[in-house]
Amino acid sequence: MADTTTALLVIDLQEGYFSAPELAAIRDRVVAGSLAAVTAARAAGALVVEVRTVHSEDPATWALNMREDACPFMIGGTEDVRPVGELAAVRPDEPGEDWVVVEKTRDSAFHGTELVELLRSRGVERLALVGISTESCVAATAADAYAHDLRVVLVEDGVLAPDAERHRASLAHLEDLYRQPALPLAAITFAAPAPPAAPAAGPGPA
C-alpha cells in the first residue's frame, strides 16, 4: 500500500455512543485498536480525520429515526458529542493540517460534508477506517468512499460492533462487494499527504 497516500478516518469515538450498554461493553477494545492506528498514522505524518456526529437542537438536522421517535441525540454542546477522553493522549491540542475534525449528521462521513474535497485537496487516494459501528457508520462511510473512487482498508482491531455476527457479516460484505479488506495494523502503510491546496487566485485588476 506504499504506492498511495493513506489517511486515517476515526469515526464516532464519542462519549454519547458509549453510554449505551452494548457499546460500553466493546469500548476498551475498539478504543485501544483505534488509538494504535492513530499513533501509527501520526508517526508517518499521515492525515488524520476525526469524524464526529453532531446534531443541532432543531430537528431539521436529525435522522429519520430520531424524528420518528422524537429522540434528540448527539446534540452540539452536550457531553454526548465530546470525543472519548483517551483520544487526548494521541491528538494535538488543536486541529491543524495533519488533524482535521469533520462533523456529520448522518451515518456516512461524506454525506453533507466537505470530506471528499478535503481528501482530494491533499492527494489522498486510500483511507484506513477505525471506529464504530461496523454495520452502520463505518460501512456507510466505506461504501461512499468507494463511490468517490477512494480505496479503503479497515483496521482489523479498530472497527467493532456490539453484535459479533453483524460485525463479521459487514466486513465480509465490504470485502466481497467493494474489495475493502480488514487488515491488521501492521499490514497498513500510512503516508504523508500533500500540503493543502492553495486557494485559486482571483482575477487581477481590470
Active site residue 137: yes
Residue 103 contacts by C-beta under 8 Å, 6 or more apart in sequence? 51, 52, 53, 54, 113
For cell 436529525, the residue is 62
> Annotated catalytic residue: which of 8, 41, 137, 154?
137
Please name the amino acid found at residue 198: A
Which residues are catalytic, by number?
A: 137
